[in-house]
Amino acid sequence: GAVVSQHPSRVICKSGTSVKIECRSLDFQATTMFWYRQFPKQSLMLMATSNEGSKATYEQGVEKDKFLINHASLTLSTLTVTSAHPEDSSFYICSAKKGPEAFFGQGTRLTVV
Amino acid sequence: EDKVVQSPLSLVVHEGDTVTLNCSYEVTNFRSLLWYKQEKKAPTFLFMLTSSGIEKKSGRLSSILDKKELFSILNITATQTGDSAIYLCAAPNTGNQFYFGTGTSLTVIP
């Protein structure tokens, strides 16, 4: 099977600091990865599509300067929440595309205090 | 090792057919079982199941959880072409770590 590892699983940070979340495809190469944010009603909101070697494509309403995405290699994409605020507290999930399938990380619970 | 397994991996049916999608899980400190429909990139939420034996229903879709046998099924009756999608199930644990299945790709032919 295909494994996607997301790290850290939970993080608490102070307001105004930046937090980096990593998404790694462990046993396959992923030219495309997706970053989602989960809201209380359990829906997953697509934030951006991360393409290896090029700029990420952000969905409407997602601030690209606040949510920095880097996909520098075929196995790693990172999401950096810059100048985090309490309203950024949420659950962030990545997925990596392998052929027609998408494999999900385990998610990161971010709490900004 | 915690995991979620979905079957079948793919399914092709004709409009009007009824389908049953399966999701089995082995998750320590299991909290709930979620079903999503993924048509393009972003999965949309369908159901959240926490108790065994209680069917959740939304239109032609219904789902039920068996916490003893560790599985859930998603039924779609009178399928339509708009039901074509990938159906994902996920099982978060009490620590809010999510375990996703790889999905069942459903294609409904007119």
The pLDDT score that the predictor gives to residue A89 is: 94
Contact criterion met (CB < 8 Å) for B96 and A49: no
Q: Is it the case that residue A90 has pLDDT exceeding 80?
A: yes
pLDDT band of residue A82 (cuts 50, 70, 90) is very high
Burial per residue of B45-59, b for 16 or more beta-carbon CB atoms within 10 angstroms, e otherwise? ebbbbeeeeeebeee
Instruction: Give the whole-angstrom CA distance, residue B106 versus residue A75.
Output: 28
Task: Please give the span between the terminal C-alpha atoms of chain A, in angstroms, as a whole number.
Answer: 38
- For residue A39, pLDDT beyond 90: no
| pLDDT on residue B40 | 65
For chain A, the residues whose C-beta falls within 8 A of a C-beta of chain B are 1-2, 9-10, 34, 36, 41-46, 49, 91, 93, 95, 100-107, 109
CB within 8 Å of B84: residues ≥ 6 apart:
B39, B106, B107, B108
- Decide if B100 contacts B90 (C-beta within 8 A): yes
Which tokens hold the place of B66?
């068996």
Using CA coordinates, name the residue in chain B closest to A35.
B42
Choose among A102, A113, A96: nearest CA to A13.
A113
pLDDT tens track, chain B, 110 positions: 888 999 998 999 999 999 999 999 999 999 889 998 987 656 778 988 999 999 999 999 999 999 999 999 999 999 999 999 989 998 888 876 778 887 898 999 99
Give the pLDDT confidence score for residue A1 in this predicted structure: 61
For tokens 């959740």, name the residue.
B56
Q: What is the pLDDT of residue A92?
A: 93
Placement of tokens 């809201």 in the chain: A39
State phi, psi for A88 to the nearest 5 degrees: -85, -10
Judged by CB atoms closer than 8 Å, whether chains meet at B38 and A10 is answered as: no
Q: What angle do CA B9, B10, B15 make, to 5 degrees?
A: 145
User: Is A102 in contact with B48 (Cβ distance < 8 A)?
Assistant: no
Alpha carbon of B30: minimum distance to chain A alpha carbons (Å) = 14
Work out the average pLDDT over A81-109: 87
Q: Which helix (H) or strand (E) holds B90?
A: strand B85-90
Q: Look at residue B66 in the predicted model and tell me its pLDDT.
A: 96
The three state secondary structure string of chain A is CCCEEEECCEEEECCCCCEEEEEEECCCCCCEEEEEEECCCCCEEEEEEEECCCCCEECCCCCCCCEEEEEEECCEEEEEECCCCHHHCEEEEEEEEECCEEEECCCEEEEEC
Using the predicted structure, report yes or no on whether residue A57 has a pLDDT greater than 80. Answer: yes
Polymer length in residues for chain A: 113
Calculate mean pLDDT across residues A79-96.
94
Average pLDDT, chain A: 89
Q: Which of B41, B96, B105 sits opposite A109 (nearest CB)?
A: B96
Q: Do A10 and B96 touch (CB under 8 A)?
A: yes
Give the pLDDT band (50/70/90) at residue A24.
Answer: very high
